[in-house]
């Protein structure tokens, strides 16, 4: 692949990351309401204590000094101390990130596979009853509010199938056997995973179908058909190759966004992921934690897009030379 | 290839109709869609139908669900709020010197007995048989160390700090005798402060270098349960402590899980996955629980009350008409507290006539004159005071200030926004304009502290049945700029005097009379309109466990005292116990009589889905095109 293209993409990515870092920093400084001020409303905090806390978190320095320190610390991987637990933000953030990834990557992979297949079916039988049914049902699912869908599935799953209500693991069970542990994890993943898949699959079906239909109208498809190429080769070697590009963009965007965690799904199922962590930090006004979460999510999206750009460049020659 | 030109984006409902009507063999998918829609409708409507709780298998693991602030630390010194999950988990592992009995009076915990040498000195006689979880015996040196530790680090222990504000020092007189010296007489030191102060082991904590962020990874306490493992903000697991000095608990394991959705928590309670809920439930979920015979709902007045505040501070920047007592009184006549309590709390609240919650029992003065709801009287009072209706329909003060007030509600109490809107509606009937506004809690805190507000609705709460916390707010010394605790600017010399008197009163009857009089004084000047004392509601699986607290035990919205964890026991004793069985007996199998999906099936389902997808793709490739 063209070196210049790669270098350009890398430079763009780094510039975006730097911008995000800066924006992240200032965003939390302009929010109203000093989190420590609220502690005044109880008989707890004295003025001296608040001043000490301000000093400890460096909030009494001028803004640009805080900014430099922030950049230094982030480069070292020090995302600060949480206001509520006084423990390093990174300690809580990365395990929760892993929890989110386990759930969301699984759900995404399943949605992608099902979505692509259904999209192909829908495009191939366009106008037929299969297409109408698929389009209608996926649109229906896609437009359902995730929270509601999650609650409905939670209710049905617990009442009729005896699935667990919340969390990632069963409490009180010391599962040392690897197989048992994975089984327990899968049991807990069924309902939130299903909620996510039902919500995500619609996107992939519609995009796949749209991309394929666009390709079907191209001239080279008619040429290939005229040359006598079989349907199977037609679909795979000619249509799918070109229709995959929009899908890859969508996959990259979705995978980047998965790091943000599906806040609604995680809230309904109490899945200990980064989405729920962000929400909790928001409620408790734990600014360092929020800042850390935003940073991780933003960087994940940027990196995912970077990978998408490179993949695009690899797959589509027009992009890297144009 | 021929393609039927059909744009599926038009007439979506008719499409659905067509699909649903079609019964031909090819429409298996649409039949499924039909079924899915019916199921969805059925499920939504059955959301309010309670399913019968089937008898669950007895278990010796007491599982608690938590829907409040999550458990974010297992270091009792770093806990920030007393009604959060962190405080509760430390409750299972650590003890205090005294605890509260069902009347809110101090009862023995690590201290067997005590006596007051004088108004500022109290000596405790400690139990001899308490041990730390690592086997080291508990002595007075540990208590002495803990109290002095909190005093030395008070700027970094946000909650524990508040319980030693009146302590000068602590000294161990011998291995089992502890003396605490107070800086000033504090009649309520035991029941308000000492019942909340966790005692930590000296032999471990004295080696800690930096107390401001000590993680306390393997907590060692004297409590009825030992720490096993935890995930921050998710769950904590405990094992019973067989050497607990009051006898081992009656359950083998204790778990606490955080639920981010109250609906999920109630569902878990109904299915038996948890056996108790905390901290408190909203009144809307009560019908889901009461119709289940296996669930007991306990509700009792919480140690808090909601109030409507007026900014009467002379140096404030709110609407100056509120500094006129007649105005405040008239506006109070235009607030219907009973209707508010019914709307916001569905009756799960006591309407208040004074600034003392009814939960405080004898300290609440039932004779304090209440201001009834009377719109005519309110309008008449304003007319008489010279606040006539202006040309735009809003009353104007003699100085030309319009009676327009912001009614602010903090984002942490969103349900009160409805109350604010109703107040605005009543006020509009007497030609006063109220503007209800939901404000982010940190921002509202800033506004109030700087005296910029007009009116707001908020809450005062306490951790004990002692009235002091609720009286402190109205003392003159609590008025500061920027604010201390006073948020109305109320100041009365007689009140301040009485406050000091009640603080030092030794005779309970005398103190009660003083406290009652203080409430009358406040009611006279109407800095607040006290609204209601809401109930703390909790649900328990009384068919599986017994020994649960029934009355008010401070801090009431929690599983108060060690009593819950020590007294709770399974209704049906669990006899069979093997290490392998533990995994089976736990919550997974204690659900409805519907089948439980085994692991293998789920794995198989996932594999089948993927296989089907691949098969579908293969089939697609072989299909002959239509010509």
B383: distance to nearest CA of chain A, Å?
36
Of A80, A145, A107, A102, which Cα lies nearest the Cα of A272?
Answer: A102
Residue B278 has, within 13 A of its CA and on its CB side, a CA count of 29
Nearest CB to A236; choose among B212, B233, B621: B621
In this prediction, residues B484-503 reach a mean pLDDT of 90
Do the Cβ atoms of B19 and A132 come within 8 Å?
Answer: yes
In contact, A308 and A253? CB cutoff 8 Å: yes
Angle, CA of A51, A55 and A56, to the nearest 5°? 115
Chain A touched by B401 (CB under 8 Å):
no
Q: Give the confidence band of B39 by pLDDT, cuts at 50, 70, 90.
A: low
More confident residue, A210 or B433: B433
Residue B37: pLDDT over 70 = no
SS3 of residue A166 by DSSP: coil
Do residue B594 and residue A128 have CB atoms under 8 angstroms apart? Answer: no
Mean pLDDT confidence for B264-278 = 89
Select from B19, B234, B596 the residue whose CB has the most chain A CBs within 10 Å, as the one to mutate to test that interface: B234
Tokens 């009560």 identify what position? B286
Is A313:A319 a contact under the CB 8 Å cutoff? yes
Task: Please judge whether A270 and B4 are an interchain contact, meaning their C-beta atoms are less than 8 angstroms apart.
Answer: no
CA B238 and chain centroid, separation: 23
Residue that wins the pLDDT comparison between A73 and B390? B390
Calculate the CA B147 to chain-centre distance: 27
CA A148, chain centre distance (Å): 20
Mean pLDDT within B479-483 = 80
Question: What dihedral angle (degrees, nearest 10) is formed by the CA atoms of B70, B76, B79, B83?
Answer: 60
Is the Cβ of B188 closer than 8 Å to some Cβ of chain A?
no
Distance from CA of A257 to the nearest CA of B (A): 21
Q: Quick check: B18 pLDDT over 60?
A: no
> To which residue do tokens 């039927």 refer?
B4
Cis ω for the linkage preceding B279 (within 30 of 0): yes
The verdict on A161 touching B (C-beta cutoff 8 Å) is yes
**Could you give the angle at the alpha carbon of B482 between the alpha carbons of B481 and B487, nearest 5°?**
85
Q: Do the strands B98-100 and B61-66 form a parallel or antiparallel pair, or are they unpaired?
A: unpaired
What is the pLDDT, as a whole number, of residue A62? Answer: 79
Q: What is the pLDDT of residue B536?
A: 85
- What mean pLDDT do residues A312-319 have? 75
A-contacting residues in B 269-288 (Cβ below 8 Å):
271, 273
**Percent of residues in chain B assigned helix, strand, coil, to nearest 5:** 35, 20, 45
Q: For chains A and B, what is the number of CB pairs under 8 angstroms?
A: 268
Structural tokens at position A199: 């919500």
Question: Alpha helix (H) ranges present in B193-321?
Answer: 202-205, 262-271, 286-290
A-facing residues of B in 328-387 (CB < 8 A) are: none
Mean pLDDT, rounded, for A20-38:
71
Nearest to B335 by CA among B364, B310, B366: B310
**Which backbone phi and psi does B177 adopt, to 5 degrees?**
-130, 130
d(CA B308, CA B419): 10
CA angle B207, B212, B217 (to 5 degrees): 60
Q: Two tokens at B409?
A: 């509600």
Higher pLDDT, B363 or A225: B363
Q: Judge whether residue B239 has pLDDT over 90.
A: yes
Residue-wise pLDDT tens digits, B330-369: 999 999 999 999 999 998 999 999 999 998 888 999 999 9
Sole residue written with tokens 């809401």: B534
**Are B257 and A166 an interchain contact pair (Cβ–Cβ within 8 Å)?**
yes
* Helix (H), strand (E) at residue B189: none
Q: List, in order, residues 6 or more apart from A75 with CB less than 8 Å away.
A: none
CB atoms within 10 A of CB A271: 28
The beta-carbon neighbor of B582 closest among A126, A172, A232 is A172
User: Tokens for A314?
Assistant: 């690899």
Which residues share a beta bridge with B305? B460
Q: If we measure between CA atoms, which residue out of B143, B132, B272 comes closest to residue B585?
A: B272
Alpha-helical runs (H) found in A57-128: 63-76, 89-124
d(CA A60, CA B68) in angstroms, rounded, equals: 32
At residue A183 the predicted structure's pLDDT band, cuts being 50, 70 and 90, is confident
Rounded alpha-carbon distances, angstroms, from residue A39 to A49, A53, A284, B32, B162: 10, 12, 12, 55, 12
pLDDT above 90 (res B457)? yes
As beta bridge partners, residue B279 has none
How is residue B263 written in tokens?
Answer: 């609906």
* Distant-in-sequence, close-in-space partners of A100: CB < 8 Å, separation ≥ 6: A258, A259, A261, A266, A271, A273, A274, A275
For residue A243, what pLDDT is reported? 81
- The mean predicted confidence, pLDDT, of chain A is 82
User: Is A270–B260 a contact, with Cβ atoms under 8 angstroms apart?
Assistant: yes
**Which bin fits B209, alpha (ψ -120 to 50), beta or left (φ > 0)?**
alpha
d(CA B432, CA B321): 12
How far, in Å, CA of A122 to CA of A106, rounded? 24
Distance of CA A72 to the CA centre of its chain: 27
Question: What is the ipTM, given to two decimal places?
Answer: 0.82
Whole-model pTM: value is: 0.77
Return d(Cα B497, Cα B70) in angstroms, integer.
Answer: 41
The whole-angstrom separation of Cα B604 and Cα B461 is: 53
Whether the CB of A55 is below 8 Å from some CB of chain B: the reply is no
Give how far B427 is from chain A: nearest CA, Å: 28
Does B21 score more than 70 pLDDT? Answer: no
Best CA proximity match to B217, nearest among B235, B199, B232, B239: B232
Is the Cβ pair B583, A173 closer than 8 Å?
yes
Q: What is the mean pLDDT of the segment spanning B492-511? A: 88
Which of the 8 DSSP states describes residue B408?
E
Residue A33 binned pLDDT confidence (cut-offs 50, 70, 90): low
CA distance B452 to B444: 10
Tell me whether residues B72 and A132 touch, CB distance under 8 A.
no
Cβ contact (<8 Å) for A129 and B22? yes
Residue B626 or residue A36, greater confidence: A36
Whether A270 and B582 lie within 8 Å, measured CB to CB: no
Reported confidence tier of residue B586, pLDDT bands at 50, 70, 90:
very low
A136 CB neighbours in chain B (<8 A) are 8, 12, 15-16, 19, 33
Structure tokens at B245: 């000095």
- Please tell me the distance from the alpha carbon of residue B467 to that of residue B187, in angstroms, as a whole number: 11
Helix (H) / strand (E) element for B281: namely none
What Rg value do the Cα atoms of chain B yield, rounded?
Answer: 30
CA distances from B65 to A205, B62, B75, B205 (A): 39, 10, 20, 30
Q: A82: which chain B residues are within 8 Å (Cβ-Cβ)?
A: 72
Question: Hey, which residues 181-210 in chain A have their CB within 8 Å of chain B?
Answer: 183-184, 186-187, 190
Distance from CA of A260 to the nearest CA of B (A): 17
Question: What is the chain B residue with the closest CA to A221?
Answer: B1
Q: Compute the average pLDDT of residues B582-606.
A: 44
pLDDT tens per residue, range A274-289? 989 998 888 777 778 8
Contacts with A173 from chain B: Cβ below 8 Å: 582-583, 586, 588
Q: Is A270 on the interface with B (CB under 8 A)?
A: yes
Q: What is the mean pLDDT of residues A65-72?
A: 84
Q: B234 near A167, Cβ under 8 Å?
A: yes
Q: Any residues with CB less than 8 A from the CB of B4 and at least 6 apart, and which?
A: A126, A127, A128
- Please list every residue in chain B whose beta carbon sits closer than 8 Å to the beta carbon of residue A276: 233, 260
Q: Contact, B122 vs B189, CB < 8 A?
A: yes
B198-226 core/surface letters (b: 16 or more CB in 10 A; e: else): bbbbbebbeeeeebebbbbeebbbbbbbb
- Using 50, 70 and 90 to split pLDDT, how confident is the model at B494? very high
**B345 in Cβ contact with B283 (< 8 Å):** yes
Instruction: For A205-235, give the DSSP string.
Output: HHHHHHHHHHHHTSHHHHHHHHTT--HHHII
Short-list B137, B139, B142, CA closest to B126:
B139
Q: Are B79 and B94 in contact (CB under 8 A)?
A: no
Between positions 62 and 121 of A, the ones with CB within 8 A of B are: 81-82, 84-87, 92, 95, 110, 113-114, 117, 120-121
Would you mind telling me the total number of residues written for chain B in this entry? 627
pLDDT exceeds 80 at position B609: no
pLDDT in tens, B120-154: 899 999 999 999 999 999 999 999 999 999 999 88
CB B224 within 8 A of CB B244: yes
CA atoms within 13 A on the CB side of B352: 29
> Using the beta-carbon criterion (under 8 Å), do B235 and A171 form an inter-chain contact?
yes
**Residue B233's closest chain A neighbor by CA?**
A272
The answer, yes or no, to whether residue B533 has pLDDT greater than 50, is yes
A-chain residue closest to B585, CA distance? A173
- Asked if residues A117 and B616 have their Cβ atoms less than 8 Å apart, the reply is yes
Residues whose CB falls within 8 Å of the CB of residue B135, separated by 6 or more in sequence, listed in order: none
Q: Do B617 and A151 touch (CB under 8 A)?
A: no
The two tokens of residue A204 are 């992939």
Residues contacting residue B450 through CB under 8 Å, at least 6 positions apart: B317, B481, B482, B483
Q: Which residues of B touch A122 (CB under 8 A)?
A: none
The residues, ordered by sequence, that sit 6+ positions from B26 with a Cβ below 8 Å of its Cβ are: A129, A130
- Per the CB < 8 A criterion, the answer to whether A263 and A236 are in contact is no
Q: Nearest CA to CA, how far is A15 from chain B (Å)?
A: 34
> Phi/psi of residue B435, each to 5°?
-120, 100
Q: Are B431 and B389 in contact (CB under 8 A)?
A: yes
Candidate from A41, A117, A186 with C-beta closest to B603: A186
């Amino acid at each position: 692949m063209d070196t210049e293209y790669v270098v350009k993409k890398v430079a763009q990515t780094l510039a975006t990351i730097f911008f995000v870092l800066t924006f992240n920093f200032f965003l939390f400084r302009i929010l109203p309401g000093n989190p420590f001020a609220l502690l005044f409303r109880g008989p707890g905090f004295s003025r001296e204590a608040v001043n000490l806390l301000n000093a400890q978190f460096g909030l009494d320095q001028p803004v640009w000094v805080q900014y430099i320190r922030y950049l230094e610390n982030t480069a070292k991987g020090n995302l600060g101390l949480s206001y509520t637990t006084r423990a390093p933000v990174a300690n809580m953030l990365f395990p929760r990130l892993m929890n989110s990834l386990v759930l969301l990557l699984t759900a995404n992979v399943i949605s992608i596979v099902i979505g692509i297949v259904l999209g192909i079916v829908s495009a191939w039988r366009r106008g037929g009853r299969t297409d109408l049914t698929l389009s209608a049902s996926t649109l229906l699912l896609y437009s359902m509010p995730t929270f509601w869908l999650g609650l409905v599935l939670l209710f049905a799953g617990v009442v009729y199938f005896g699935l667990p209500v919340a969390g990632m693991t069963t409490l009180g069970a010391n599962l040392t056997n690897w197989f048992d542990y994975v089984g327990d994890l899968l049991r807990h993943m069924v309902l939130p995973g299903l909620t996510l898949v039902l919500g995500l699959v619609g996107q992939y079906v519609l995009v796949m179908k749209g991309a394929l239909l666009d390709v079907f109208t191209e001239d080279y498809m008619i040429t290939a058909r005229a040359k006598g190429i079989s349907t199977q080769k037609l679909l795979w070697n000619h249509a799918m190759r070109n229709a995959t590009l929009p899908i890859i963009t969508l996959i990259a965007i979705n995978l980047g966004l998965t790091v943000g965690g599906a806040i609604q799904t995680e809230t309904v199922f109490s899945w200990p992921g980064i989405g729920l962590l962000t929400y909790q930090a928001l409620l408790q006004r734990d600014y360092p934690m929020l800042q850390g979460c935003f940073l991780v999510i933003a960087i994940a999206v940027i990196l995912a897009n970077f990978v998408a750009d490179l993949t695009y460049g690899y797959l589509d020659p027009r992009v890297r030379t144009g | 290839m021929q393609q039927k030109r059909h744009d599926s984006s038009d007439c979506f409902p008719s499409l659905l109709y067509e699909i649903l009507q079609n019964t031909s063999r090819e429409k298996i998918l649409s039949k499924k869609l039909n079924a899915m829609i019916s199921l969805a409708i059925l499920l939504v409507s059955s959301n309010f139908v309670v399913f019968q709780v089937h008898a669950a298998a007895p278990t010796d693991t007491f599982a608690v669900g938590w829907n409040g602030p999550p458990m974010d630390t297992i270091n009792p010194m770093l806990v920030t709020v007393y009604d959060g999950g962190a405080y509760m988990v430390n409750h299972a592992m650590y003890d205090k010197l005294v605890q509260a009995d069902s009347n809110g009076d101090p009862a023995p915990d690590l201290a067997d007995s005590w006596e007051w040498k004088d108004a500022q000195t109290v000596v405790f006689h400690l139990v001899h048989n308490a041990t730390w979880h690592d086997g080291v015996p508990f002595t007075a040196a540990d208590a002495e160390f803990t109290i002095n530790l909190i005093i030395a680090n008070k700027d970094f222990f946000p909650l524990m700090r508040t319980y030693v504000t009146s302590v000068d020092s602590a000294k161990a007189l011998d291995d089992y005798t502890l003396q605490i010296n107070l800086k000033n007489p504090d009649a309520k030191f035991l029941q308000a402060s000492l019942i909340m102060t966790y005692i930590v082991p000296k032999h471990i904590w004295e080696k800690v270098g930096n107390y401001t962020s000590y993680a306390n990874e393997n907590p060692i306490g004297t409590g009825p349960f030992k720490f096993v493992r935890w995930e921050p903000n998710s769950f904590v697991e405990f094992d019973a402590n067989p050497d607990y000095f009051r006898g081992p608990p009656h359950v083998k394991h204790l778990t606490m899980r955080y639920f981010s959705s109250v609906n999920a928590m109630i569902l878990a309670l109904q299915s038996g996955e948890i056996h108790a809920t905390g901290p408190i439930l909203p009144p809307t979920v009560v019908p889901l629980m009461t119709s289940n015979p296996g669930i007991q709902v306990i509700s009792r007045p919480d140690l808090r009350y909601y109030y409507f505040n007026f900014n009467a501070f002379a140096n404030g920047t709110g609407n100056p008409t509120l500094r006129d007592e007649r105005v405040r009184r008239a506006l109070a006549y235009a607030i219907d507290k009973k209707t508010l309590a019914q709307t916001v709390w569905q009756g799960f609240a006591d309407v208040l006539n004074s600034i003392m919650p009814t939960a405080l029992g004898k300290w609440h003065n039932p004779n304090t004159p209440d201001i009834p709801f009377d719109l005519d009287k309110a309008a008449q009072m304003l007319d008489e005071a010279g606040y006539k209706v202006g040309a735009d329909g809003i009353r104007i003060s003699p100085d030309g200030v319009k009676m327009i007030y912001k009614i602010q509600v903090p984002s942490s109490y969103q349900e009160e926004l409805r109350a604010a809107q109703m107040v605005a509606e009543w006020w509009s009937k007497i030609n006063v304009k109220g503007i209800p506004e939901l404000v982010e809690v940190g921002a509202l805190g800033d506004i109030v502290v700087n005296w910029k507000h007009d009116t707001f609705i908020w809450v005062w709460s306490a951790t004990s049945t002692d009235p002091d916390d609720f009286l402190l707010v109205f003392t003159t010394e609590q008025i500061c700029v920027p604010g201390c605790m006073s948020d109305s600017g109320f100041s009365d010399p007689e009140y301040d005097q009485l406050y000091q008197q009640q603080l030092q009163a030794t005779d309970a009857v005398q103190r009660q009379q003083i406290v009652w009089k203080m409430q009358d004084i406040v009611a006279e000047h109407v800095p607040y309109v006290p609204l209601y004392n809401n109930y703390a509601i909790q649900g328990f699986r009384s068919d599986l466990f017994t020994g649960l607290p029934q009355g008010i035990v401070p801090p009431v919205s929690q599983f108060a005292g060690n009593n819950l964890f020590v007294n709770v026991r399974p209704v049906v004793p669990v006899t069979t116990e093997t290490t392998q069985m533990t995994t089976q007996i736990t919550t997974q199998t204690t659900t409805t009589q519907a089948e439980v999906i085994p692991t293998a099936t789920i794995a198989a389902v996932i594999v089948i889905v993927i296989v089907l997808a691949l098969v579908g793709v293969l089939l697609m490739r072989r299909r002959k095109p239509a010509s």
